[in-house]
Amino acid sequence: MNAEVTPNPSEWGEAEEVVSHEYFEHELTPLERTAPSLRVRSLPLGPVRLTRIGWGAAVAIHSEHPGAYAVNIPMSGQITCDDGMVSGVGTASVFRPDTSAAVQRWTDDCEIVGVKLERDYLQREMARILGRPDLQLPSQVDLTTEQGRSWMTLLRSIVEQLKADETLWSNPLVAEQLSGALTSSFILAVMPEDADPTGGARPRIIKRVLDRLHSDPAQPWTSADMAELAGVSVRRLQEGFREYLGVCPRDYLLDLRLERIHEELACGDPAVVSVTDVALKWGITHTGRFAAAYKRKYGVSPSTTLRG
């Protein structure tokens, strides 16, 4: 995760300033008499920011997380809060915005991926996905569940994709799609089933979504966008697609985009057309998965189609 490279400070005061800039303003207290060995990489994706942080020593941190929710995911070591909550590998601590949180004590081997979600954005997405703007995220999340593991797989995939091609994260269209996918899947992974009050998605509602997808498949559609169009929750939309079409909305949209890309590559001039440009034009942001999906569908690579 190296979209934004930060300096390597030799003093704790400097280390506090670096992390405050890249993640959240906070008060830092080193718990060991040693110099910091700070490791920070930050990746801004519109209303979402991913930051990997390791202090290289045991520290205590206090923050009010101004303006945004914080989801702190230990990749090694553990964090113990003064309110008794302990988070290690496989769990995540969630902190509400503009609220004085309990002091967090990091072990010397602790390294996290922090997900910063702007307050208004997350609350709006929760209202769109669950139909319940009054709900609150839990203070701790189990990432060893099937839904939790699925979200972590998506998170790692996005980080690896952006590491491989750092020009992608600076594209506003890509940032919007990735932040939407991360946020929607996170909400669905951590909120209980009974938080979803809406009824099932009927065929007429599914058709409304299909009509819009076919008219503009390149739009940076998220599951929340489709659910809002249908007037149901994301869960109900997914159930409706599987019941009536046999696939989830994301896979249906990918297949539709593959068809449009195939048509354009088949009649394109390889001297002036590139596979990447055509894929991005039709809303593809994960080029590795796209190539694999294209070959499964058409039996050849996109570049083979382009070359005729």
Given a cut of 50, is residue 274 above it in pLDDT?
yes
Give the model's confidence band at 213: pLDDT under 50 very low, under 70 low, under 90 confident, else very high. Answer: very high
Contact 189, 206 (CB under 8 A): no
Higher pLDDT, 204 or 157: 157
Higher pLDDT, 169 or 122: 122
**Tell me, what's the pLDDT at 202?**
60
Cα–Cα distance for residue pair 125/118, rounded to 1 Å: 11
Pairing of strands 27-30, 39-45: unpaired
Given a cut of 60, is residue 200 above it in pLDDT?
no
Q: Look up residue 6 and give its two tokens.
A: 């930060």
**Tell me, what's the pLDDT at 159?**
75
Architecture of domain 1-192: Sandwich (2.60)
The number of helix segments (H) and strand segments (E) in the chain equals 11, 12
Cα–Cα distance for residue pair 196/128, rounded to 1 Å: 11
**Tell me, what's the pLDDT at 126?**
85
> How many Cβ atoms are within 10 Å of 59's Cβ, its own excluded?
22
Given a cut of 60, is residue 34 above it in pLDDT?
yes
Q: Could you tell me how many residues make up the chain?
A: 308
Q: Between 2.30.40.10, 1.10.10.60, 3.40.640.10, 2.40.30.40, what CATH number should domain 252-307 receive?
A: 1.10.10.60
Higher pLDDT, 10 or 131: 10
The model's pTM is 0.68
Q: Among residues 272, 275, 281, which one has the least CA distance to residue 300?
A: 275
Residue range 43-96, pLDDT digits in tens: 898 899 999 999 999 999 999 999 999 999 999 999 999 999 999 999 999 999
Q: Which residues contact 43 (CB under 8 A, 6 or more apart)?
A: 1, 3, 4, 49, 50, 51, 159, 162, 169
**Tell me, what's the pLDDT at 2?**
46
Given a cut of 60, is residue 5 above it in pLDDT?
no
Cα–Cα distance for residue pair 137/126, rounded to 1 Å: 9
Question: Tokens 């149901």 identify what position?
Answer: 232
